[in-house]
Amino acid sequence: MPLVAMTREMGSLGNDVAAAVAERLHRQVVHHEIIDNLANKMRLRKSHVIRFLDGKAGIWERLTTDKTSLSIYTADETFSLAEKQEVAVIHGWGSAQLLRAVPHVISLRVCAPLEVRVQRMIKQLNTDDRAFVESEIRLADEAYGAITRRHFGIDWHDPEQYDLVLNTERLTIKECADEVMGLVDDPEFQETRDSMRVFSDLALAAQVRAVLRQDPRTSKMLISITSADGMLTLVGLVDPGQDAKDAIEVAAEVPGVKKVVNQLRPAAAAVSHIVEG
Of 129, 159, 189, which residue sits at a domain end? Answer: 189
| One domain for residues 11 and 99 | yes
Half-sphere exposure of 74 (CA within 13 A, CB side): 15
Alpha-carbon gap, residue 170 to 151, rounded angstroms? 31
Domain of residue 13, residue span: 3-189
Of 159, 189, 219, which residue sits at a domain end? Answer: 189
| One domain for residues 21 and 100 | yes
The answer on pLDDT for 170 being more than 90 is: yes
- Residue 58's pLDDT is 52
| One domain for residues 257 and 126 | no
| One domain for residues 205 and 105 | no
CATH number at residue 250: 3.30.1340
CATH number at residue 23: 3.40.50.300
233: left (phi over 0), alpha (psi -120 to 50) or beta: beta
Half-sphere exposure of 135 (CA within 13 A, CB side): 8
Of 189, 209, 241, which residue sits at a domain end? Answer: 189
Q: Which residue has the higher pLDDT, 32 or 195?
A: 195
Q: Tens digits of per-residue pLDDT, 93-134? A: 788 998 999 999 999 999 999 999 999 988 887 888 899 889
| One domain for residues 164 and 202 | no
- Residue 79's pLDDT is 83
At 91, the amino acid letter reads: H
| One domain for residues 135 and 37 | yes
Q: Tens digits of per-residue pLDDT, 228-245? A: 999 999 999 888 888 999
| One domain for residues 59 and 151 | yes
73 bridge partner residues:
34
| One domain for residues 171 and 222 | no
Q: pTM, whole model, 2 decimals? A: 0.78
102 bridge partner residues:
none
Q: Tens digits of per-residue pLDDT, 32-65? A: 766 544 334 333 333 444 444 344 445 544 444 3
Query: Cα–Cα distances in Å, from 160 out to 12, 27, 78, 151, 182?
Result: 19, 28, 22, 17, 19
Q: Which residue has the higher pLDDT, 256 or 10?
A: 256
The answer on pLDDT for 182 being more than 70 is: yes
| One domain for residues 134 and 258 | no
Alpha-carbon gap, residue 3 to 85, rounded angstroms? 9
At 174, the amino acid letter reads: K
Total structural domains within the chain: 2
| One domain for residues 203 and 141 | no
| One domain for residues 200 and 175 | no
| One domain for residues 152 and 172 | yes
